[in-house]
Chains A and B, each alone.
Chain A
Amino acid sequence: MEQEKFDIWMMEYLSGELDENRQLEFENYLQEHQKRKDDFDTLSVAWNEMDRAKIPEPSEKMDTAFFDMLGSEKEMKKHEKFSWFLSLQSYFGPIRKPQFAFGMLLLSIGLGIGYLFNSNKSNVTEPGPVIVNNETEKVREQLVLTLLAQPSANKRLQAVNEASKLNDANEHIMKALFTTLNHDPNINVRLVAIESLAKYVENPEVRMGLVKSIAMQDSPLVQIALADLMVALQEKTSIDSMKRLLQQPDIDKTVKQKLEESINHII
C-alpha cells in the first residue's frame, strides 16, 4: 500500500470515521506490517495526548454579550419594519433638518392652496358646459330654420347638415325637415334630409312622415333612398305607400324593380 493511502486510512481510524469492519481490517493490517504499526503508535500517542489539553470554560460574560447583541439586533429589526420615515430621513440626511422641514411645510401649503383653487374652479365650471350646450343648440336650431328658408341650395344643404348635428330636434325642426324632403326642388337637399330624419326613426311620427313621403316623391334617387330606409327599418306600413307609387304610370323601371324588391324584403 502506498504511504499516502495508509496515512489517510490512519487518520480515518484515529478520527473514528471507520465502521467496525474497516477498523478490524486496519488493526489486522497493522499486525502484519510492523513498520506501519510503529508509525501508527508514534502518532496515536500525540493524537491521544491532544485530548488531554485543558480548555477553560467560557465565562458568563460571553453569554451576556451574545444575548445583548441578539436583543439589540431584534430591536433593530422591529424598528426596520416601521421606519420607512427614518430611511427617508437618512436619505435626506445631508439636508439640514430645519431647512427640510421648512421646505416640506411650503410644499404642503402649496398643495393645499392648489387643491382649494382647483376644487373651487371645478364647482364653478361644472354647469358651464350644459349652459353652453343649450345655447349652442338654440343657435343651431335658429340657424337651421334660417338656412332652410334660403333660396340657395348650398345654404339649404348646410341647414340640413346642421340639423343632423342637433342632439334632440324639436317639432319646428322636424316640420322644416319634412317640408324640405317633400318640397325642396333640389334632389341633393332632399337626399340629405332623408339622412337627417333617419336619426329620429325611433319617433313613430317621423317614421309615418317618411312613409307618406314615398308617394310624394318624383325623383327616382329619392324614391330608392326611401325604399332602402324602409327595408332597413322593416317598416310594414310603408308597403301601401310603395304599392301606390308602383301604380303610377310614369314610374322609372329601376325604381319599380327596387320597390318590388323592397316590398318582398319587408314582407
Chain B
Amino acid sequence: MGSRRRIVIGAAPGEAATFQALVAEYGSPLLVFNPAALQRQYHLLSNALPGVGLYYAVKAHPNAHIVRTLDELGSGFDVASAGGMEMLTELKIPGHRTIHTHPVKKDREIRDALRFGATTFVVDNPGELAKLVPYRDRVGILLRISFRSDHAAVDLSRKFGCGLDEVSGMVASAQRHGIHIKGLSFHVGSQCTTADTHVEAIEKCGELMLTTSQTTNAPLSTLDIGGGFPADYGLSGIDIDDYCRPLRKMLAALPDDWHLLAEPGRFLVAPAVTSITTVTGKSERHGVMWYYLDDGVYGSYSGQVFDHAEYPLQVLKTGDTRPSILAGPTCDSIDIIAEDIQLPELEIGDLVIGRQMGAYTAATRTRFNSLPDARFVYAGK
C-alpha cells in the first residue's frame, strides 16, 4: 500500500533552529499555535464569503488561545456541548454570538444553553423539535438537511439530517406548536475537494425556503451553510477564494434580507497549529527503519484514526532516504503515524514535524497508556 501522504525533507534556513529552540524551552511533544496563521485564514474565508457570518466550530480545537484569537476578530462560535459553553463563558464571550448545533440534546443541555444565552438550536426530526416546544418563546430553530457528498473525506449527512421532502411537514408541525423554524442548515461533509455539493445544497435549500415562506406566515430567513471548507493537507496551495466562487454566486442570488452563516472549523485552524515530536528510539527491522516518536495516534495524531486525515510530515535533515516507519509511543501496534515512506536516516533526538495539525487533533486525543498530552505553545507576539 503506497501512501499519498506529503513528506517534506529538509528545512528552510532558520526553520530547524526555531523548532529546536521551542523544544529546548518547552520540551517535547508540542503543538505550536501560530495566531497569525489563524487570523490569515479567517480573513481569507470572510473575504471569500462576504455577508456570511462565520461561527467557528469550537469542537475542531476547543482551546482558549484559539477561541480568544477568533473572538478578537469578531468571529461567532458554533458550540455543541456544555464544555464548549463553559469555555466561552470563562472567556467572557456572550451567548448571543454563539449557535448550538448539536441535533440531539438532553433537556438539561437546552436549559444550560439558554442560560448561557445561546438561542439558536438545530433539529432534524419531530422528536427533537418537541424537546424545544417548552422553550418556544425563546428559541429560533434551524432544520438540518441531509446532503450526501461524494467529494467529502468525512460524510456528515449519514448520522444527522432530514430530507428536503420532510421540511414542509416539520414547518407545519412547528407552526402548530407555536415554535419558530427560522431557516435551514446543512453539512456537506468535511474536507470537501470541490464545492459542488455546497452549491447544490444552497440552491435546493434556497428554493425550498422561498416556496415554504410563500405558504406560511412565518418566513424562513436564515441559511446556515455549515462547514466543509478544506485544509491543505497536500500542501498544494488551496485557493479558498477560487473554491468559494460558485458559492458566492449562488448566495448572491438569495434575498437580501436573509441571514447567512457558516460553521468553519478545519479550514480556519488546521494550518495554525504545528506538531513537534522527537525520535525517542529507532530500530532496523526486515530492512525497514522504525522510528519511535513521543506522540502518536492516541495523542495529537488521533485525527488519523477519527478524522481520516493524513497530515503532511517534515524531517529537518536531508540525505539518502530509506524505507521508514514512524510509530507512536504507546505499546499498541496500530499506533503508527506513517509507513511506506522514504526518509533520510534519523537519530534519537531528531525532530519530526506535523503540518496542518490544528483541527481534530488534540480535540480527539485519548488518555491511553497514561502518556502526557503534547504541550500547547502559543507562538504569538
Please indicate whether A and B come from the same complex rather than being unrelated chains: no
Measuring CB to CB, which residues of chain A are less than 8 angstroms from any residue of chain B? none
Measuring CB to CB, which residues of chain B are less than 8 angstroms from any residue of chain A? none
